[in-house]
Structure 1
Amino acid sequence: MKTVRIRYCLFLCLLAQTVSMNTSAQSTKKPVRVGVVGLVHSHVNWILNRAKQTGDPTIEVVGIAEPNREVAERYMKQHGLPMSLVYPTVEEMLDKTRPDAVTAFNEISNHLNVVKVCAPRGVHVMVEKPLAVSIDQARQMEALAKKHNIHLLTNYETTWYGSNHKAHRMAVQEGAIGPIRRIVVHDGHDGPAQMNKEFVAWLTDPVTNGAGALFDFGCYGANLATWLLKGEKPRTVSAFTLQIKPDVYPKVDDDATIILEYPKTQVVIQASWNWPFSRKDMEVYGETGYVFTLDGTRMRIRLKGDKAEQTTEAAKTDAPVTDPFDYLAQVVRGETKSVDDLSSLKVNMIVMEILDAARRSAQSGGKPIALK
């Protein structure tokens, strides 16, 4: 009996020591140093809100590269941040602040330039969706990332929706609705015309954004579908675009439908700047049931044997990480792998193939484009 008590005491001592060591390691872990490239994307408020948090254990915003001083002064004033954070060029910001990673909130067409500057310095990059304006630019970015062994991630708002991860778990990991046969994704709002002028200027230009709603919101559905279908490429891509408000958006489409054909599955992506309300929702149909995501939490589900549809809510914990910058920190620290998830380069290269083919299809009047 005495021997058992001694062993138990030793076990408790070892357990306490392990917990103490883990707690100590967590408390001494330094925040990942992050630079911000560009302030012309409205999503930049996301990270600037984090920059205001002193003592953030996860990330520290050490510098911001923005050549437009008027824009920089407006954002720094809005968020209560010092202008000393701002540098006129990416190169100067990198050289003087030495970040571990950068987040790009500039024009999509300039994502390639960010990688050209950061990759040789060993600085990891997370860009706002989509990855690039063309498959050619995306391939150059991919080559640079692989050559210099950096992480190249793409951030989507919908990546952090607990509902999407719960739908993925049910449909893909658990097979609760049977083989997926159809996915329908709706994304968009009533248009960007009333947003910040510097954002609207490049968002409505086919050179700097790649297209209009076709790229701006079509990328969400391409990303989710590729993830749900385990990285499978569609056999063909067809797309149809409209210019409902040519007086407001004279250079680009403002409404798009993309159809992806797989051997036994069809994906319909509806992207628009003309929805009466903002929406980011998805319908996933299987052979024996379906799961709908209505927003970040609310869901509708009907499985085989159910007499009626059920409503449910996903929790924030259904997503493995609820914030892109926490995720970026984990990737940089090697605490998680980005191989085939929503942010990964592998998935987003397929997204770019889809978007590139969709643009060509729309230009041809909807002719199906085969992917190699």
Structure 2
Amino acid sequence: MTIRYGVVGAGWISQIAFLPGVDVTGNSKTTALVSGNRDASERLAEFYDIEHTFTYDQYDEMLAADVVDAVYIALPNSMHADYAIRAAKAGKHVIVEKPLAISAAECRAMIEAAEAAGVYLMTAYRLHNEPGTVHALELIRSGAIGDPRVFSSVFSFQAGPDNHRLKASHWGGPLQDIGIYCVNAVRHIFADEPVEVTAVRNQTDDPRFSEVEETFAATMMFPKGRVAQFVASFGAEQLDTYRISGTEGDIAVECAYDFQSPTIVRLTRGAEVIEHVFEKTDQFAGQTAYFSDCITAGVAPEACGEEGLADVEILLALEEAVKTGTAQKIELDQRRRHPDATMVRRFAPTGRRLMV
């Protein structure tokens, strides 16, 4: 069975990653494209053999037609809830780029809409289907480093001045755009939820950061005395890494969040060092294939709406910690599911893509 996707938003991530990835899955196909740029839509549609193109004003028309089974929403954060809820009400499955929405209330409305319609809502955590990430998690679960005690991470890159992630109106900023990767990673590494968070952010004269901070740094306290710290920055050179220190060793993961580089997992126990450089895979193809498998099998995806809601609640608590200068308590339901080997999907990267 082939699941038909409507791609909503033809920006950078759709062009460089999602559209190329869909074509290599074998169980998914892009059959509709929704964009505000008619010329770009037509060129992309011709290149990927996409039968239908629509403007944003025609979104409901697309949903009413029998041209897609699911939608992939890659719009600015502030638009996620509206487009996801409309799709769910029309009976379409929904995968939404992270963060799921800009408030807990919006996330819950999205979850409720999907449940009421009997469709699946998935938060686009592609790393849950990536072999290196899952390998690191399985090492921890096997006791390879004893009890994991400390998590530290840095995720940074130089943001372009026209990036919509620099707009406060879209709930942009390094915390929301890349800090969320660190938050999501440690929740599954510790297999637990944070109970208290603190944070700081900087202010610079760089005109790129007139609406959002350049750098956000956070400390998260977990049960059993575990501690996580991360730094997310739009003003430093590309770096994406995390390290977990346990009672009997440590695990370092490099190229931990980037979808264009192979993941490196290094296990250290005393003098023993075991490094595994994973073959580069198409992470968007893996994510899409997994979601299509879930739809076909009638099984809810692990990275469900509640998974996206949990991260949004943590981001909001971190923002409040910055604003007030005081630690914020958090109470979240425990996750019953975590990424595992059954969710991994491997596809060779494709060089066939069009950037317009």
TM over 0.5: yes
TM-score class, shorter: 0.7 to 0.9
Residue 48 of structure 1 and its aligned partner are, at CA, apart by 1.9
Change (3 A) 1:158 1:245: farther
Equivalent position amino acid for 1:150 in 2: V
Show the 5 A alignment for 1:252-263. Answer: 252-263=212-223
Name the structure 2 match of 1:242. Answer: 202
C-alpha displacement of 1:244:
3.2
Match of 1:112 among 73, 76, 81: 81
Query: Shift of residue 150 of structure 1?
Result: 1.8
Aligned to 2:337: none
Name whichever of 30-39 and 56-65 sits farther off.
56-65
CA-to-aligned-CA distance 1:274-304 (integer Å, 9 cap, x gap): 222x22221111111111111242122112x
Which residue in the other structure is 1:333 paired with?
296
Aligned-partner Cα distance in 2 for 1:316–1:42: 18
Matched, 1:302 2:265: no
Q: How far apart are the structure 2 equivalents of 1:245 and 1:327?
A: 44
Match of 2:165 among 190, 203, 215: 203
2:21 and 2:285 in contact (8 A); partners too:
no
Maintained 8 Å contact 1:154/1:345: yes
C-alpha displacement of 1:52: 6.0
1:93 aligns with 2:53: no
| TM-score, normalisation: structure 1 | 0.79
Q: TM-score, normalised by structure 2?
A: 0.82
Q: Is the 8 A contact 2:193 2:222 kept in 1?
A: yes
Q: Which residue number corresponds to residue 31 of structure 1? A: 2
Q: Structure 2: which amino acid aligns with 1:298?
A: I
How large is the Cα RMSD of the aligned pairs?
2.6
**Which moved further from structure 2: 324-333 or 33-42?**
33-42
Distance 1:321 1:36 in 2: 13
2:115 maps to 1:146:
yes
Mapped pair 1:268 → 2:236: no
Distance 1:57 1:313, change over 3 A: closer
8 Å CA contact 2:243–2:253 kept in 1: the answer is yes
Report what 1:27 is aligned to: none
**Is residue 192 from structure 1 mapped to residue 163 from structure 2 by the alignment?**
no
Structure 1 position 171, deviation (Å): 0.4
* Secondary structure of the structure 1 residue equivalent to 2:172: coil
Residue 369 of structure 1 aligns to which amino acid in structure 2? Q
Q: CA deviation at 1:245?
A: 4.9
Shift of 1:333: 0.9
Deviations 1:247-270 (A, max 9, x none): 122111121112111132111121
Q: Deviations over 1:24-69 (max 9, x none)?
A: xxxxxx311111111135344322224667xx63111111111332
Distance 1:66 1:322, change over 3 A: closer
- Segments of 5+ residues of structure 2 without an aligned counterpart are 256-261, 332-356
Residue pair 1:244, 1:255 contacting (<8 A) in 2 also: no
Work out the CA distance in 2 between the residues paired with 1:165 and 1:332: 22
Amino acid at match of 1:67: G
Contact 1:112 1:138 in 2 (8 A): yes
2:144 matched residue in structure 1? 176
**Residues 207-253 of structure 1: per-residue CA shift (max 9 Å, x gap):** 21x231111111001111112222x2211111211233541221111
RCO greater where, 1 or 2, for CA within 8 Å and sep 6 or more? 2
CA distance in 2, matches of 1:235, 1:336: 30
Q: Given residue 11 of structure 2, which amino acid in structure 1 is its aligned partner?
A: V
- Which residues of 2 match residues 24-173 of structure 1 at below 5 A? 30-50=1-21, 57-73=26-42, 76=44, 80-81=47-48, 85-88=52-55, 89-172=58-141
Over 3 Å counting, the alpha-carbon distance change for 1:97 and 1:186 in structure 2 is: farther
Distance 1:302 1:82 in 2: 48
Post-superposition shift, 1:95?
2.2
Aligned residue for 1:275, secondary structure, equals strand
SS state of the match for residue 326, structure 1?
A: helix
Q: Deviations over 1:145-190 (max 9, x none)?
A: 2222221111135334422111100102x12111211111222212
Q: Does the Cα contact within 8 Å between 1:104 and 1:114 map onto a contact in 2?
A: yes
Quote how far apart the aligned CAs of 1:130 are.
1.4
The count of corresponding residues between Structure 1 and Structure 2 is 322
Q: Which amino acid aligns with 1:328?
A: F
Partner residue in 2 for 1:371: 330
Aligned-residue identity in percent: 20
Find the residue that maps to 2:248 and give its secondary structure.
coil
Shift of 1:362: 1.6
Alpha-carbon contact 1:214-1:241 (below 8 Å) kept: no
Does the 8 A contact of 2:150 with 2:246 survive in 1?
Answer: yes
Instruction: Name the amino acid aligned to 2:121.
Output: L
Give 3-state SS (helix, strand or coil) of 1:252's partner: coil
Cα offset for 1:142? 1.7
Structure 1 residues without counterparts, runs of 5 or longer:
1-29
